Amino acid sequence: MPPWSAVPGHGEFRNERRLTTEEIATIAAWVDAGAPPGNKKDLPAKKVWSDDWSFGPPDLVLTPEGDFEVSGNGIDQYRCFVMPSGLREVRYIQAMEVKPGNRKVVHHVRAFADITGQALKLDVRDPSPGFDCGLSMIAPYKRISIGGWAPGVVPEKLPETIGVYLPADADIVMEVHYHRNGLKQTDRSSLGIYLHQVAPKNIAKSHVIMNIAIRIPPGVERHEERAKKILNAPILATSIMPHMHLLGVEMRVTATLPDGSVRDLVWAKPYDFNWQTSYRFKEPILLPKDTRIDVVAIYNNSDSNPKNPSNPLKEVRFGEATDQEMLVAFLGYIDPAATAPVPASSGGPQ
């Protein structure tokens, strides 16, 4: 069972994967009894693991034309692969699944819709599949985010009333972060996109709360860093996703409303880089204008952290590489007053 890091009592989530008190008691009693075997006739069928798409065949499957070779040594690499959507009308995404081609080196994936044509021009100039790109969001081809993947993220369908905006005639840019492992590798990751057949009422959006000035000293088991953001308009919060790297051990996100009351959004403890989760609220949370979002992150940059990538220990700052760190929380939301501006056509992809 995948781990669930959210501390009970600090948010309610519809994708919770936690054992109930009764289930835990049943397992404990079985262990205390010496773990006796049950009736073999009651055994369930052996689980058959599949590489199929989670929600059946996607409306769009986008894969680079060829394998990309990742050299064994050097710094982390960001590579962007460009694939035309083929959609002639505005559509809305209900779900997107990323299939990493080589999990040994794929650190995470982000996807964007490019309507500038710039990404395709950069791709054409590079003889290898894709082109080198960085984490920066300044590039015009990264202005429209449509989703992503990190270790542990489980694909999930949005409700019928919420969708991710996908403009007409867009190129899909798949940005892959590669962390070299000392051996030459190849990768060919894919995106599967499921489209709403009827235009949803709301467009999924996100606020990013981050601190790029973090400095994590060596040898400290519990080092605290903070970030905050004040909302300039009311929102209906739908999800929260903490993001750190290998030194991160816990992250707590709270909302302080204009009346001074404080509401927990999530407390991920222990945070696990290999099981990152977008925590989806059971019900959308109304956060008024001038609400302050506070993020408190704890890092362990000592020898007691078995995941610490630095030997010898060193000060760690914000950066895109795996041996650097991040302090980021993605707050998903919908606009309480807005609706999807352009209706999608009915039927399949256009």
Please tell me the predicted confidence (pLDDT) of residue 20. 84
Please list, in sequence order, all residues whose beta carbon lies within 8 angstroms of the beta carbon of residue 146, skipping any fewer than 6 positions away. Answer: 93, 96, 111, 112, 113, 164, 165, 166, 172, 193
- Residue 58 and residue 193: Cα distance in Å, rounded? 5
Task: Specify whether the CB–CB gap between 92 and 340 falls below 8 A.
Answer: yes
**Distances 67 to 81, 100, 275 between C-alpha atoms, Å:** 11, 12, 27
Closest CA to 265 of 7, 60, 58: 7
Of the candidates 297, 299, 296, which has an alpha carbon nearest to the alpha carbon of residue 307? 299
For 20, the token pair is 């109930």
Instruction: Give the pLDDT score at 346.
Output: 36
Round to whole Å and give the CA distance between 294 and 253.
6
Angle at 139 between CA 184 and CA 152, to 5 degrees: 50
Tracing tokens 């760690």 back to the chain, one arrives at 316
Q: Which residues contact 211 (CB under 8 A, 6 or more apart)?
A: 225, 226, 227, 295, 318, 327
**What are 14's two structure tokens?**
């519809």
Nearest in space to 283 (alpha carbons), one of 238, 241, 242, 240: 238
The residues of the chain that CATH labels 2.60.120.230 are 60-197, 205-334
The CATH number, out of the four listed (2.60.120.10, 2.60.120.230, 1.25.40.80, 2.60.40.680), of the domain defined by the range 60-197: 2.60.120.230
What confidence score (pLDDT) does residue 135 get? 65
pLDDT in tens, the chain (350 residues): 678 999 999 999 999 988 888 999 999 999 999 999 888 888 888 877 777 899 999 999 999 999 999 999 888 899 999 999 999 999 999 999 999 999 999 999 999 999 999 999 999 999 999 999 976 657 889 989 999 998 888 899 999 999 999 999 999 999 999 998 899 999 999 999 999 999 999 999 999 999 999 999 999 999 999 999 999 999 999 999 999 999 999 999 999 999 999 999 999 999 999 899 999 999 999 999 999 999 999 999 999 999 999 999 999 999 988 889 999 999 999 998 865 555 444 333 33
77-100 residues labelled b (16+ CB within 10 A) or e (exposed) = bbbbbbbebebeebbbbbbbbbbb
CA dihedral 206, 321, 324, 149 (to 10 degrees): 40
pLDDT of residue 340: 55
- Residue 257 and residue 247: Cα distance in Å, rounded? 31
Residue 270 corresponds to which amino acid? Answer: P
Domain 205-334 class, CATH top level? mainly beta
State the pLDDT at residue 343.
Answer: 46
